[in-house]
Amino acid sequence: MHIGSGFLSPPVWGGLAVVSGAALAASLALARKRLDDRKVPLMGVMGAFIFAAQMVNFPILAGTSGHLGGGFLLGVLLGPSLGIIVMASILVVQSLVFQDGGVEALGANIFVMGIIPCLMGGAVRRLWSRPRPGWPADAATFLGSLVAVLAGATFVILFFGVSGALPAKVTLLEALAAMDFVHFFIGLVEGATSVAVVRFVVAARREAVFEVEEPALVKEAA
């Protein structure tokens, strides 16, 4: 879902650069106040993994592919502020080194693939902190990931609309329908992947994810 170069008008990409820049600065300030030692290597490898996973385009419908966004699962596992820092780092590397996503569209891409899904993922984080998260955590993560992908897709079209990038004969509603139809199917895969990855990381690295010692967590449940 990386917006390429030349699709957003200067007021749109400029405004979104300011919004995303401010959100990133706030995230860094929060992380600076409190950052668990175990979170740093987790942030690093989660970033590397999401970068790698985004290279794996899976076929969806005829002649279309999709790839993981990953922002939602980062919001669950790292919390919104660290998630935003990780997504922003990935998007900067993709844009500057791999020509994936326009450089001037970085703010927009961070907003759509970082800020929105990371905040949404952060909202269901608590469901996973219980010793046995169970189906509510799975369901919220699956549905949340799907909704986050659709929200991102919707914002992309709105940004195109405000930028005057949509062809004159296409109505905003038609554009939204085309974008969200494809992204509904991508969102289903995103949802299933989020559940699998969050389950795996919570099982393997519960202490780093929730910044607790294992015994304290068990006591909480009792």
Partner 1 sequence: MTAYNRKTLLLGAAIALAVGGIVSYFASGAPDGLEKAQEDLGMAEPAHAGLDAPPVVFEEYSLKGLGSGFWGNAAAGVVGSLLVLAVLLLVGYLLKRRKRPSPETDAA
Residue closer to partner 1 by CB (options 17, 19) is 17
Helices then strands (H, E): number in the chain? 9, 2
Residue closer to partner 1 by CB (options 50, 124) is 50
Site for partner 1 in 72-91 (CB under 8 A): 85-86, 89-90
Residue closer to partner 1 by CB (options 22, 96) is 96
Nearest approach, Cβ of residue 199 and partner 1 (Å): 14
Q: Which of 29, 49, 119, 30 lies closest to 79, judged by CA? A: 119
Helix (H) or strand (E) holding 66: strand 65-66
Q: Based on C-alpha coordinates, what's the Rg of the chain?
A: 18
One residue of 22, 56, 143, 216 binding partner 1 per CB under 8 A: 56
One residue of 76, 108, 127, 179 binding partner 1 per CB under 8 A: 179
Cα separations in angstroms, 48 against 13, 44, 91, 154, 196: 26, 6, 12, 27, 17
- Give me 178's structure tokens: 């085309």
Letters for 3-42 (x = contact with partner 1 by CB under 8 A, - = none) are xxxxxxxx-----------------x--xxx-x-xxxxxx
Residue closer to partner 1 by CB (options 57, 136) is 57
One residue of 18, 22, 26, 55 binding partner 1 per CB under 8 A: 55
Site for partner 1 in 115-174 (CB under 8 A): 153, 156-157, 160, 163-167, 170, 174
One residue of 16, 23, 47, 119 binding partner 1 per CB under 8 A: 47
Residue closer to partner 1 by CB (options 140, 191) is 191
Displacement of CA 192 from its chain's centroid (Å):
14
Q: Which of 85, 87, 213, 193 lies closest to 142, judged by CA? A: 193
* Position 217 contacts partner 1 (CB under 8 A): no
CB 121 within 8 A of CB 115: no
CB 146 within 8 A of CB 186: no
Residue closer to partner 1 by CB (options 123, 206) is 206
